[in-house]
Structure 1
Amino acid sequence: MYSILVATNFSRTSDNAVLYSASLAQLLNIKLVLFNAFKLPIHASNARISATSMDALIESTKEKLRKQALKLSDKFKIEVEYQCSYLDFELEIDSILKLYNSKFLVMGMSAKSLEQNLVGNPTTTLISMKNFPVLAIPVNAKFSGIHKILFACDVMSDVPLRTLAKLRRVAIQLKSEVTVFYVEKKINELKSENKAYENIEKGLENVTYFYKKVNSDAVIKVIEKEIVKSSFDMLVMMPKKYGFWESIVHRSKTRVMASGINIPLLSIPIE
């Protein structure tokens, strides 16, 4: 049995992601795991505190996690575990996912800001760096079921079947319908690209899905308008990996969307 792994640092943003994850775990009847990558406060680090004092800080964090886990377990009637590590989050997260058999990581997502658009945030950094799915939860998002999923893409021929299979599993488990939002090309052009169209047919087998066509150069704005217009519960995007020099000049649509939408974003990296 797999679990849901959610990162928390006890902030308002991460607390909301934890509550959303608990509701999702309750719906799927699976275990929830709280994960905190412990970091010393700046003043403590500068003071070079003793090993005993550092242990006390770590134990204090573990106690916070324990209390939070108990409350969640009682409220949502689910199994909740917790993990606290004094290690770099980005280095540790892969092994933690494997340890708890978690298929994706849940993280809180701050409100949109100019700084985030320029340099990103921890959530967008993981989306761009890692090869596992990340579910980003906006600070104001509340769980009310996931009935409608918007799958936004612009190059369908680049999406392999095994990547689409992950979206298929999510949709089936949540009993959601999927709208394939294909930007930049008309649907009859998509059908003419046999491989691309066949991949969608096979990849989303047994899933209720629809196509929507939009001809626009302003991809991100069009996606945002569609989210508001049709009241979707989740946005799914599949970011492509770029080389070093490409990454400097290319702004990932998934990364930009992750810095300021109002519904959860599930990022599934293309394998």
Structure 2
Amino acid sequence: MSIIVATNFSKLSDNAVLYAAALTKQFQTELVLFHAFRLPVHAANSRLSAMSLDILFQKNKEKLKKLAANLSEEFQIKVSYKSSYSDLGEEVDHLMKEYKARFLVIGMSPKSMEQNLLGNPTTSVISMKEFPVLAIPLEAKYKEIKQILFACDILQDIPLKTLARLRQVALSLKAAVTVFYVDQKVEELKIETPSILNKELEDVTHFYKNVKSNSVIESIESEIKKSNSDLLVMMPKKYGFWESIVHKSKTRVMASGQNIPLLSIPIE
């Protein structure tokens, strides 16, 4: 098992790489750096020979190699690296299988009006892929994860594979899980605990919290602050073409502008 982190050597991805390295050490596994090679703007606007392109590619690969060596020495972990001309979306499915990765780590872009409308690379990966994605905001620095907030809008039909992945993460981190459920109809702050949740999380310290609210996103954001959670876990849903036009994914919204990491575990 390993952890894959995507980097383009930006400040945002550099922070995600450091977070992933620290997490890799705690999980006692291998870190894999992936860089999708893109031509600089000035180079893309000029006519470069195949040899010149290869030189630029090799320079980036050497930079990735040096980063891997530095991380391995600093965190005392095994670090592999891979660079490709293909973009992250095209390559990551193969990488996840090749390295038997737990999840993909990627930087989480700040919130903006444009991203609310069009999304960003992080939200695109979350919505398109069928593996866990850990999004790291620029403000998030690694610390021991003790409190996991599992925010969901269903309780009875959570897939067993999703719960199994949540359980693995919680046990590996030795963290407690709060199952946070927002419902417009509930009049009292209590729920009937689904037996499947208790069974799948029986060896994890877990709690339940239910609130009545018409605004799921604001309720989750408020709970993050109140509970001092270290990690937010959500389940993105797949929508058809017309549904995707009128429905804004809660996970997609939360994957932009948060101050703590977001682990997206897909419903399979």
The interval holding the TM-score normalised by the smaller chain is over 0.9
Distance 1:261 1:239 in 2: 16
Equivalent residue, structure 2, for 1:210:
207
Q: 1:59-70 to 2 correspondence within 5 Å?
A: 59-70=58-69
Structure 1 vs Structure 2 CA RMSD: 1.2
Counterparts of 2:153 and 2:57, CA distance in 1: 45
Q: Which amino acid is 2:257 matched to? A: G
Q: Give the alignment's TM-score, normalised by structure 2.
A: 0.96
AA in 2 matched with 1:200: L
Where do 5+ consecutive residues of structure 2 fail to align?
none
Match of 2:136 in 1: 137
**Cα displacement string for residues 72-111 of structure 1 (whole angstroms, at most 9, x for unaligned residues):** 1111111111100011221111001111111210000122
Kept in 2, the 8 Å contact 1:146–1:233? The answer is yes
Report the Cα offset of residue 189 of structure 1. Answer: 4.6
Q: How many positions carry a matched residue from both structures?
A: 265
How is 1:136-175 mapped onto 2 (pairs within 5 angstroms)? 136-175=135-174
Q: Is the 8 A contact 2:20 2:31 kept in 1?
A: yes
Is 1:221 matched with 2:223? no
Deviant stretches of 4+, over 6 Å:
none
Q: Whole-Å Cα distance in 2 between the matches of residues 239 and 187 of structure 1? A: 25
SS of 2:156's equivalent in the other structure is: helix
**In structure 2, what residue type is equivalent to 1:160?**
P
The 1-side partners of 2:204 and 2:55 are apart by 50
Q: Percent identity?
A: 61
Task: Tell me what 1:190 maps to.
Answer: 192
Q: Which has the higher helix share?
A: 1
Describe how 1:1-271 pairs up with structure 2 within 5 A.
2-184=1-183, 185=186, 189-191=191-193, 197-271=194-268
Please list the CA deviations of residues 219-247 of structure 1 after superposition, one character each: whole Å capped at 9, or x if unmatched.
11111111111110000001111111101
Counterpart-to-counterpart distance in 2, 1:10 and 1:188 = 46
Looking at structure 2, the residues matched to 240 and 155 of structure 1 have their Cα atoms a distance apart, in angstroms, of: 11
Q: Which runs of 5+ in 1 are unaligned?
A: 192-196
What is the SS of the residue equivalent to 1:4? strand
The amino acid of 2:111's aligned partner reads K
- Comparing 37-46 with 52-61, greater Cα deviation is found at 37-46
Mapped to 2, the partners of 1:140 and 1:263 lie a distance apart of: 8
